[in-house]
Chains A and B, each alone.
Chain A
Amino acid sequence: MSWITEFPQLSRSELLTVRKTLDEAYREFSRSHGEAIENFFDPLLAFLVWIENLLISTPWWLVIAIILAITHFAARSLKLTIGVGISLFLIGFFGMWEDTMSTLSIITVCTILSIVLGVPIGIAMAKSNRIQAIVTPILDVMQTMPAFVYLIPVVMLLGIGKIPGVIAVVIYAIPPVIRLTNLGIRLVDKEVLEAADAYGVTSWQRLWNVQLPLAMPNIMAGVNQTIMMALAMVVIASMIGVKGLGQPVLQSITNQYFTQGLLNGSAIVVLAIIFDRVSQAYAKRSQRHMGGRHD
């Protein structure tokens, strides 16, 4: 009775067969469909390249000016605007401007993609308990599965490059938008919803005039988290050929360049802080009427 002392496991040869079959099947799939899938993502690639080129080819001072303008209109805080200006200047001063622009472009694209995909999924989850029951475990897996594991099939399918990088980042970063859109809509005050229904809204009017605006604080929090997670993925994404601040960091790890690692790491942190502060200040400002209801 060997199973008492030893785990009853597949024999090596059986295991090998299983692996071989699955790998073979997937390789076959990627050989036959890889190109079609790549073509499918072409517009996305074009968009990404366009944004990256735009950011890099625009004079640095103009980019800074635009970012400062956005900061100002979003947050209306002089302190924040000055801080952002100084940070961006320092990044360029230490020779990281181009990498930062690459990272900025990929983060922008990933964030847009996450919102475009995530918000509708979140809405669907809020609408149907069944969809929620199906999607929630998938999100759990996406968030706990080590990023390297799902990089493998993506790379097998699409090779190394920007698109697999974007896909990896989006898979990693999209769950918060979905979860918080779902949560936000489910938490909308029932009486306000009833009021809207009592005045004869269509389900589209209900979504647009009531559910989304009232869920906005939560959705914004989700977007914020998504951006932070996307930034955290930058280093891992650089392993599969995504240009940007991640690559020098990766280089520093293999070559033990302490200062280079620190500088580029700091640039990532600075980007994160800018995104975070600006989006939070904007959220706070746009929702100043939502809190503190009298009763």
Chain B
Amino acid sequence: MTDSLIKIEGLYKLFGRTPAKHMGLVKQGLSKDEILKKTGHTLGLKDINLDIKRSEIYVIMGLSGSGKSTLIRHFNRLIDPTEGKVVVEGQDIMTLNDAELREFRRKKMSMVFQRFGLLPHKTVVENVAFGLKVRGIGKEERQQKATQWLADVGLKGYEDQYPSQLSGGQQQRVGLARALCTDAEILLMDEAFSALDPLIRSEMQDQLIELQEKLHKTIIFITHDLDEALRIGDRIAILRDGELIQVGAPADILLHPADDYVEKFVRDVNRARALSVDTVMKPAKFRISAETVGEALKEMRTSKHEYAYNVTGDGYQGALALDQLEELDKSEYGELLTDEHYYDSDVNVEPDAVIEEVIPETLDQEYPIPVVDEEGKLQGELSRDTIAEVLSPQPEAGEGEETEKTG
């Protein structure tokens, strides 16, 4: 599923009285501070280009004030851009009139807010049904649907409570249920979990991931927390002072930060916990195809490999070390290769395992560990060196430390 669903092209947002007049300065590349000083206008977003694919969780990350909320509010036009396009399924939503925009918001996108944005005078189930009510759907039908979604987010039995009677985590579940209840394909989440305690937050993240496995929504998720971004994002876009600094998969961002700003985000992340094996493994190059000990020895000697992966017509068999085979007596050369010959017969490293989980196995072995997927196919190898390289601190991206910025 790689077709593009939302495209943002050349998006600029300048806050102030006469933004159009000062776009020249923005395009000349003046900084946010300079523009503010010269014109009294705040640069919200600068030349944003995004391409969001169907069914992905797209995380937008940045420090407070970097323009995340401004950006996400352009998706459903809670904020209109000063310049640029927002294209959803080929349609530029800037061309919608009021009625069309309402229709678009009712059917295509729904939104979850940082401080929940629930109606305090309505019960939980009425809050969840709000989107359907706005659409003019009858009471019975919308209550029934809302009750179902409440159960799906784990709030069965809370239907007739009021939001103020619920904990923060529960209130945000209501917010999530409200968003899901409209069956909108696109979900906008502006720091949806940031107001919650860490434990509740990670519970909510798990729940979101779990729901996404069933629902396959396209989710735009805003956060200022890199751990959260890495945990749930398929791709991450990093924003600074209204500019897009880097877009990439979580591992990309972790392993190749584009500049100091990203570097600083990344520095404190526990990579062993954040990266999965497939993001760092190397290709398993040394392959042989042998039935017996003798054949294996012969192949490895000619190719001069210390170790090799035996892949026969029946698929991947195991990993062999040259020195272990050479210890065997010549009389055994005719024997078929079995588990006792393979050095990886009691280890099992899968591509989606987190590095932290496989460190013991990897460090125990002199030779690289093969990475084998669920179907028993050889995907790559993981060596002690690779792990050491990934876990050791990265060299600074820029020259020396940037001076700390305040505010």
Contact = CB atoms under 8 A, between A and B. Distances in A.
B119 A210 contact: yes
Contacts of B164: 289-294
A42 interface: no
B110 A294 contact: no
Contact of B78 (A197, A214, A295): A197
Interface string A214-225: 101000000000
Interface stretch (B129-137, B236-244, B260-268, B279-287): B129-137
B162 to A, nearest CB: 4
A200 B120 contact: no
A199 B114 contact: no
Contacts of B73: 194
Interface in B154-205: 162-168, 171, 178, 182, 188, 195
A291 B168 CA distance: 15
B247 interface: no
A242 to B, nearest CB: 38
A289 B168 contact: no
Contact of B119 (A198, A209, A216): A209
Nearest to B116: A191
B40 interface: no
B contacts with A: majority SS: mixed
A213 interface: yes
A195 interface: yes
A202 interface: yes
Contact of A294 (B106, B109, B166, B182): B166
Interface stretch (B97-105, B299-307, B319-327): B97-105
A195, A213, A216 pick with most chain B CB within 10 angstroms: A195
B111 A198 contact: yes
Contact of B110 (A199, A201, A216, A291): A199
B76 interface: yes
Nearest to B167: A294
Interface in A147-187: none
A192 interface: yes
B121 A214 contact: yes
B256 interface: no
B120 A293 contact: yes
Contacts of B117: 189, 191-192, 194-195
B230 interface: no
B182 to A, nearest CB: 7
Contacts of B78: 194, 197-198
B131 A290 contact: no
A52 B15 CA distance: 57
A201 B134 contact: yes
Nearest to B114: A191
B134 A213 contact: no
A192 B182 CA distance: 17
A112 to B, nearest CB: 24
Given A194-B78, A289-B121, A291-B164, A199 B171 contact: no
A154 B270 CA distance: 79
A199 B134 contact: yes
Given A213-B121, A289-B162, A293-B163, A199 B131 contact: yes
B149 interface: no
A209 B126 CA distance: 11
A200 B195 contact: no
Nearest to A210: B119
Contacts of A287: 121
B353 to A, nearest CB: 37
A194 B168 CA distance: 19
Contacts of A195: 111, 113, 117-118
Nearest to A293: B164
B86 to A, nearest CB: 15
A210 B133 CA distance: 13
Contacts of B168: 294-295
B53 interface: no
Contacts of B178: 199
Question: Looking at A198, A205, A213, A216, which has the most chain B CB atoms within 10 Å of its CB?
Answer: A198
Interface string A277-295: 0000000000101111111
A199 B120 contact: no
A200 B121 contact: no
A198 B168 CA distance: 21
Nearest to B166: A294
Nearest to A189: B117
A200 B103 contact: yes
A197 B163 contact: no
Contact of B130 (A189, A199, A213): A199
Nearest to B188: A198
A94 B131 CA distance: 58
B167 A198 contact: no
A292 B116 CA distance: 14
Contact of B102 (A189, A191, A200, A214): A200
A200 B114 contact: no
Contact of A290 (B111, B121, B135): B121
Interface of B: 73, 76, 78, 101-106, 109-111, 113-121, 130-131, 133-135, 162-168, 171, 178, 182, 188, 195
**3 tightest A-B CB contacts, nearest first:** A195-B117, A200-B105, A200-B106
Given A199-B106, A294-B168, 20 more contacts: A189-B117, A191-B114, A191-B116, A199-B110, A199-B130, A199-B178, A199-B182, A200-B101, A200-B131, A200-B134, A202-B102, A209-B130, A209-B133, A209-B134, A210-B119, A289-B120, A290-B121, A292-B164, A294-B171, A295-B115
23 contacts: A189-B117, A191-B113, A192-B119, A194-B78, A194-B117, A195-B113, A195-B117, A197-B105, A198-B109, A199-B105, A199-B106, A199-B110, A199-B130, A199-B182, A201-B102, A205-B134, A209-B134, A216-B121, A290-B164, A293-B120, A293-B163, A293-B164, A294-B164
Interface of A: 189, 191-192, 194-202, 205, 209-210, 213-214, 216, 287, 289-295
